[in-house]
Amino acid sequence: MARPGPKGGQYCPLTQAQILQVHQASLTVLARTGVHVEHAAARDLYRQGGARVDGHRVFISEEMVKTALDSAPSRVLLAGRDPANDVLLEGKRVYAGTGGSPTMMLDPGADTVRPATLDDLRQMTALVDALPNCDFVVMPVYPTDVPEELAPVNRFYACLTNTTKHVMGGVGTTEGARQIVALGILLAGSLEALQARPLVSAITSWMVSPLHLDTVVTDILLTWCSYGLPVALSAAPMAGSTAPVTLAGSLVQLNAEQLSGIVLTQLARPGTPVLAGYIPGVADMRSGGYLGGTVEFGMMQAAAAQMAHFYGVPIYCSGGMSDAKLPDAQAGYEKMATFLLAALGGGNYIHHAIGMVTNMSAASLEGAVIDDEIVGMAMRALRGIEVTEETLATEAIDRVGPGGHFLMDPLTLQFMRSEFFRPRVADRQNRASWEAEGKRDTRVRACARVTELLSRPRQVGLPAEVDVAIRARFPILP
């Protein structure tokens, strides 16, 4: 049974009136500017759904948007092989996990990166499976040593055999999408069983901002929708580069892009479980590069969550991003800022939160351990302060009385484990004890935690008969 994520929504950068303004402006963009669609079948779907089509330009009406939003599910289950790891996306419930599929790996303690491998993917997945605040697995690295034609099934297989949490990832071809569905069917037993408990889901970066549907990925999106399985629509415009420089204007464009994608999924297969994938970046005005560790990134994620809540569609978003090259002080403050703002905004499915450095280009094992602690602290903040007759503690105050001590009071014993977040990496000793233990900094302690977690016995492999069937069907790499 899914454990409910804590509720966000405490931070609302947009007023209700501003939400309506963004919504109306987005409808204006869709109806007046439209989206560029080169994929013929997608254009036909839009046309049949009531859109005006002029060449490759598709103009989407408000009525089409309303019909699609009425059709899209308001709650989406992303199942784990262990039902205790199920993620149920609805309302303002918040979950966090990995993401980004970086192609580079930063080894523990190193300051230079190297190309990521399939073994790195296995090891990273095994690590995050053991992290208590990581709710799901989005491909944490992209192995560069796997031939492209073998990549989809081997990437998913590497994750699925090292975690019982939900696995989501991108696929580069329609054939790859079909392979992942076939893999999921072997795991679940049938397509119907997989639809009921989706053990795998897909990310489709179908939108090339501004307002241009990628032909190849649109084909993958339509293929995936045909199976009725959950799909995340990922669009990542950069304010000042591929979106207007103003945050409001960037949000309008991104929102219009998401609405166009939701319309397409529901035209392809009504009722398709879809996650609105708002990833609002900021362009570095000096280099034109993508920035993910900015405070504006977190603000925009919270605003995007408000839009998704307004539409009643779960949101796939981002947080815990940093432009730092190492798991250092910059990484710490940027990751906390971007994750906490996204979580307080009520982002349902916050990926990129665990295990990445250098924006989305490199993965780090000890970074993942530190990030898990950042997420844990943020989730404790979301839980808030419980105010009940018991927690108001008037009886305990009366028992202890003036000048007393609460350390051994029954209320302390009852709540001391649940009331406070207890870190595993942060050092809370006095200075003398810290010096006596070698003056280890955060990264050194995190590396030790990585070794500890990866040395634990684990039993997360697939059932033998399922594994045999998968290996008989697909070329699984050693």
52 and 113 share one domain:
no
Q: Is the pLDDT of residue 2 over 90?
A: no
Residue 223 lies in a domain: yes
243 and 314 share one domain:
yes
pLDDT above 90 covers what percent of the chain? Answer: 97
Give the mean model confidence (pLDDT) for residues 317-324. 97
37 and 156 share one domain:
no
* Joined tokens for residue 91: 């309302």
Q: Which domain holds residue 42?
A: 16-65
126 and 106 share one domain:
yes
Residue 271 lies in a domain: yes
CA 78 centroid distance within chain: 12
pLDDT digits (tens, 9 = 90+) for 403-433: 999 999 999 999 999 999 999 999 999 999 9
pLDDT digits (tens, 9 = 90+) for 257-276: 999 999 999 999 999 999 99
Q: Which of 360, 383, 406 is the last residue of a domain?
A: 383
Counting the structural domains of the chain, the total is 2
CATH number for the domain harbouring residue 260:
3.20.20.480
197 and 333 share one domain:
yes
97 and 168 share one domain:
yes
**pLDDT at res. 459:** 87
Task: Note the pTM of the prediction, 2 decimals.
Answer: 0.97
Residue 408 lies in a domain: no
367 and 348 share one domain:
yes
pLDDT digits (tens, 9 = 90+) for 116-164: 999 999 999 999 999 999 999 999 999 999 999 999 999 999 999 999 9
Residue 315 lies in a domain: yes
- pLDDT confidence tier of residue 359, bands split at 50, 70 and 90: confident
Residue 11 lies in a domain: no
341 and 307 share one domain:
yes
Q: Is the pLDDT of residue 237 over 90?
A: yes
Q: Which of 383, 413, 444 is the last residue of a domain?
A: 383
120 and 46 share one domain:
no
Residue 107 lies in a domain: yes
Q: Is the pLDDT of residue 284 over 80?
A: yes
**pLDDT at res. 153:** 98
188 and 142 share one domain:
yes
Residue 263 lies in a domain: yes
223 and 283 share one domain:
yes
pLDDT digits (tens, 9 = 90+) for 17-56: 999 999 999 999 999 999 999 999 999 999 999 999 999 9
Q: Is the pLDDT of residue 328 over 80?
A: yes
Average pLDDT, the chain: 97
* Joined tokens for residue 451: 């070794």
pLDDT digits (tens, 9 = 90+) for 190-207: 999 999 999 999 999 999
57 and 152 share one domain:
no
Q: Which of 27, 42, 65 is the last residue of a domain?
A: 65
Written in H, E and C, the secondary structure of the chain is CCCCCCECCCCCCCCHHHHHHHHHHHHHHHHHHCEEECCHHHHHHHHHCCCEEECCEEECCHHHHHHHHHHCCCCEEECCCCHHHCEEECCCECEEECCCCCCEEECCCCCCEEECCHHHHHHHHHHHHHCCCCCEEECCCCCCCCCHHHHHHHHHHHHHCCCCCEEEEECCCHHHHHHHHHHHHHHHCCHHHHHHCCCEEEEECCEECCCEECHHHHHHHHHHHCCCCCEEEEECCEECCCECCCHHHHHHHHHHHHHHHHHHHHHHCCCCCEEEEECCEEECCCCCCEECCCHHHHHHHHHHHHHHHHHCCCEEEECCCCCCCCCCHHHHHHHHHHHHHHHHCCCCEEECCCCEECCCCEEEHHHHHHHHHHHHHHHHHHHCCCCCCCCCCHHHHHHHCCCCCCCCCHHHHHHCCCCCCCCCCCCCCCHHHHHHCCCCCHHHHHHHHHHHHHCCCCCCCCCHHHHHHHHHHCCCCC
